[in-house]
């Protein structure tokens, strides 16, 4: 009887040790992947902020053009302000899908306003002659490309982390240790292609049918 009890105790100890080792391994792996998601999120915030920082210079440059549509400038200024009202931790990936969706929608409104502004700018070919405008063109192109790249990287890191959270044996420990799946950017139609920032005023207008 005594040997039986000792055997059971020994087996229980081995099980607890195995669970402890498995839990530690799961914890360390999830910490590593969660950190990578946070790092990717910080880069997303950086590139979006870089674009937002270009907007005042763009507005100041184009507003100098004679009779430029003030409503267009107001629209892009308001869109930029709406982005600033969506406050998210720059160092930690959001855990709330609704908050990330709000952020995405605000950034989408700014993208749309920026696209409309660029269409209007095409009516003012004299703007192309300014060095400030040419510099903004190059910077906006770079910003849009980096946004696309960093969003894709963030989604990849978040998806890898989420897969790990759901896999065995991590699924046994993740919730208890505070690890939960993270939301990521949802794909929109054409989201894999950055908006084209093109200021080519030398092309003749297309012939009307």
More confident residue, 26 or 184: 184
* Three-class secondary structure of residue 35 per DSSP: helix
Summarised one tens digit per residue, pLDDT across range 81-99 is: 999 999 899 889 999 999 9
What are the structure tokens assigned to 152, written together?
A: 């894709």
Quote the Cα angle for 118-58-65, to 5°.
75
Does the pLDDT at position 109 exceed 60?
yes
Quick one: which of 136, 112, 135 has its CA closest to 191? 112
Does the pLDDT at position 110 exceed 50?
yes
Summarised one tens digit per residue, pLDDT across range 49-79 is: 999 999 998 888 888 776 777 888 889 999 9
Does the pLDDT at position 5 exceed 60?
no
pLDDT confidence bin for 189, thresholds 50/70/90: very low
Q: What is the pTM of this model?
A: 0.76
**Structural domains in the chain, sorted by start:** 26-173 (1.20.1440.20)
DSSP 108-168: HHHHHHHHHHHHHHTT-GGGGG-HHHHHHHHHHHHHHHHHHHHHHHHHHHHHHHHHHHHST
Place of tokens 């980096």: 146
pLDDT confidence bin for 115, thresholds 50/70/90: confident
Summarised one tens digit per residue, pLDDT across range 161-184 is: 999 999 888 888 788 888 899 999
Mean pLDDT of 139-158: 93
Residue 102 CA, chain-centre distance (Å), reads 12
pLDDT confidence bin for 25, thresholds 50/70/90: low
More confident residue, 16 or 43: 43
| pLDDT score recorded for residue 15 | 44
pLDDT confidence bin for 41, thresholds 50/70/90: very high
Asked if 158 and 79 count as a contact pair (C-beta separation under 8 A), the reply is no
């Amino acid at each position: 009887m005594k040997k039986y009890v000792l055997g059971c105790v020994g087996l229980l100890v081995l099980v607890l040790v195995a669970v402890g080792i498995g839990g530690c391994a799961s914890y360390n792996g999830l910490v590593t992947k969660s950190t990578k998601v946070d790092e990717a999120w910080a880069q997303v915030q950086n590139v979006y902020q870089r674009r937002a920082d270009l907007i005042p210079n763009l507005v100041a440059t184009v507003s100098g053009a004679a009779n430029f549509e003030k409503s267009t400038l107001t629209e892009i200024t308001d869109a930029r302000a709406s982005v600033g009202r969506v406050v998210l931790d720059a160092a930690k990936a959001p855990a709330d899908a609704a908050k990330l969706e709000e952020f995405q929608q605000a950034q989408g409104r700014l993208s749309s306003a920026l696209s409309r502004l660029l269409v209007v700018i095409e009516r003012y070919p004299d703007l192309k002659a300014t060095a400030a405008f040419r510099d903004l063109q190059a910077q906006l192109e770079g910003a849009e490309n980096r946004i696309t790249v960093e969003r894709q990287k963030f989604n990849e890191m978040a998806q890898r982390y989420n897969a790990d959270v759901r896999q065995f044996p991590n699924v046994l420990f993740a919730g208890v240790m505070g690890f939960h799946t993270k939301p990521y950017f949802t794909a929109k139609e054409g989201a894999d292609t950055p908006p084209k920032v093109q200021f080519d005023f030398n092309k003749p207008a297309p012939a009307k049918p």
